[in-house]
Amino acid sequence: MTVLVVAEHDHKILSDAGRRAVAAATALGGDVRVLVAGHHCGAVAEAAARLRGVTQVLLCDDPLYAHQLAEPLAVLIAALAADHQAVVAAATSHGKDVMPRVAGLLDVGQVSDITAIESPTVFQRPIYAGNVMARVCCEEPIRVLTIRTTAFAPAPEDGQAEITAIAAGPDPGLSRFVEDAMTRSERPELGAARVVISGGRGVGSAEGFELLEAVADELGAAIGASRAAVDAGFVPNDYQVGQTGKIVAPELYIAVGISGAIQHWAGMKDSKVVVAINKDEECPMVQTADYALVGDLFEILPSLRDGLRQMKA
């Protein structure tokens, strides 16, 4: 069996999600090839070649892939897929955009958001916002799979695979890049952070999030948010943790002023330790968290920051 992994990257660095997709592909068994399609992305191919289990890196370096548009990428991947039994990518916004298009071109079903691989054809995945787990069998001639990054550890870097340059595919001319508006942050990436502190409606304002920032600074934490906080405009949309936002599973998740709707739980329930800080002792987050501190977050957060500083001193 040969598995093709679609690497996610920014043309310079192979993403943490891409390394996790390689680990999942290795768990399927067989040879693992990694496709790096981008522009001036040689460094990504070199990084992919070092991952354990990778037997070959296919490097497709062309301006056509400069913005990672789904339409040309899917054509390239679907053409390569013919020589593979499975195509794997991380279930990030990029994988979610591109992979079903690949499956559509191949006319096969896809298994999304895999959290466990039981055998090369049997997988587990969450449904109903993670309230139910499904076991799914995929016997399509080419298995198109996306994996939930929090369920697989990144592949270690002790391999040495060859890099083969391949020609670009055709340009279907169906889409044009206009612009990016990315959130700049010095903090760790939300999906990969060891500690996440998230705020909800209870935080009350963008200024309220500064209190979370101060605690995050002490913990080296990423900042997240509930849908209510994003909808209210306190923070940008890519902070959202939940069923349809980011899925996180840090060692420590601190939920501040978040009531804990099932849609939010779906995004963080695999966190190792969950702390709830909330004035409502009846809310689901307080009821379900490992540690719940009931009180006024505007008093608790500054003293939490001070307490963390003292511990370090």
Query: Within positions 224 to 253, which residues make up the interface with another protein, using CB under 8 A?
Result: 227, 230-231, 236-238, 243-244, 246, 251-252
Query: Does 170 engage in binding with another protein (CB under 8 A)?
Result: no
For position 136 contacting another protein by CB under 8 A, the verdict is: yes
Residues 28-87 that bind another protein (CB under 8 A): 67, 69-71, 74
CA angle (59 as vertex; 100, 176 as ends), nearest 5: 50
Q: Does 303 bind another protein (CB under 8 A)?
A: yes
Which of 134, 153, 165, 206 is close enough to bind another protein by CB under 8 A? Answer: 134
Residues 6+ apart with CB under 8 A from 12: 41, 43, 44
Report, in Å, the least distance between residue 77 CB and another protein. 11
What backbone phi and psi angles, to 5 degrees, belong to 227? -60, -40
User: At its nearest, how many Å lie between another protein and the CB of residue 243?
Assistant: 7
Buried b / exposed e along 171-184 (16+ C-beta atoms within 10 A): eeeeeeeeeeeeee
Give the span between the Cα atoms of 22 and 103, in whole angstroms: 19
Question: Strands (DSSP E) along 184-230, which ranges?
Answer: 195-199, 222-225
- Interface with another protein, residue 300, by CB under 8 A: yes
3-state secondary structure of 68: coil
d(CA 37, CA 25): 18
Residues 109-128 that bind another protein (CB under 8 A): 109-113, 122, 126-128
Q: State the nearest-atom distance from the C-beta of 278 to another protein, in Å.
A: 11
At closest approach, how far in Å is the CB of 102 from another protein?
8
177 binds another protein (CB under 8 A): yes
- Please identify, among the stretches 20-28, 31-39, 48-56, 138-146, the one whose residues bind another protein according to the rule CB under 8 A: 138-146
> Of 181, 186, 207, 282, which one interacts with another protein (CB under 8 A)?
181
Q: Does 153 bind another protein (CB under 8 A)?
A: no
Asked if 223 interacts with another protein (CB under 8 A), we say no
Q: Give φ, ψ of 260 to 5 degrees.
A: 95, 50
Looking at the DSSP bridge assignments, the partners of residue 243 are: none
Stretch 264-293 residues interacting with another protein (CB under 8 A) = 269, 272-275, 281, 286, 288-293
Cα–Cα distance for residue pair 68/157, rounded to 1 Å: 25
Cβ atoms < 10 Å from Cβ of 218: 17
